[in-house]
Structure 1
């Protein structure tokens, strides 16, 4: 049994987990909640509910970089 240590809700995380097809994918976003059965991550793809049993790895990540300023067309 894997033990995944997560930060408290409200922190930005990346979670690698298995899809039903067996492929691994990542969820990157704000951790909304976590319990013994599920993690809920709010990212660019929307809110994802992930079964803890499918999680391969998870960790806290830094905030995203600020948006780059747009350059004026010349």
Structure 2
């Protein structure tokens, strides 16, 4: 059984796919969840709710495509 790297999984998913990427930052790890907007030799760009994040491949520790977000619920009406 061959093990895929996070980079190969993200490249296979392609731009326009929703993905989660765990990567190293100073002091630990963090995640980016959103749409893959770019894949290049240096890294990937993920469009998150708070903006685009460029992540260098050497900082990526895990990554995979994920299903589309569930539809937002309607706000509850006041009683």
Q: Same fold (TM over 0.5)?
A: yes
Runs (4+) of structure 1 moved beyond 6 Å? none
- 1:55 Cα shift? 0.0
- Higher helix fraction: Structure 1 or Structure 2? 2
TM-score by length of 1: 0.88
1:37-52 pair list within 5 angstroms: 37-52=42-57
Tell me by how many angstroms 1:68 deviates: 0.7
Q: CA deviation at 1:45?
A: 2.2
Choose the corresponding residue for 1:8, options 8, 14, 18.
14
1:10-29 equivalences under 5 Å are 10-21=16-27, 23-29=28-34
RMSD between aligned alpha carbons? 1.4
The alignment of Structure 1 onto Structure 2 pairs a total of residues equal to: 72
The alignment status of 1:65 with 2:70, answered yes or no, reads: yes
Partner Cα distance (1:66, 1:3) in 2: 30
Instruction: Give the deviation of 1:35 after TM superposition.
Output: 1.6
Q: Which runs of 5+ in 1 are unaligned?
A: none
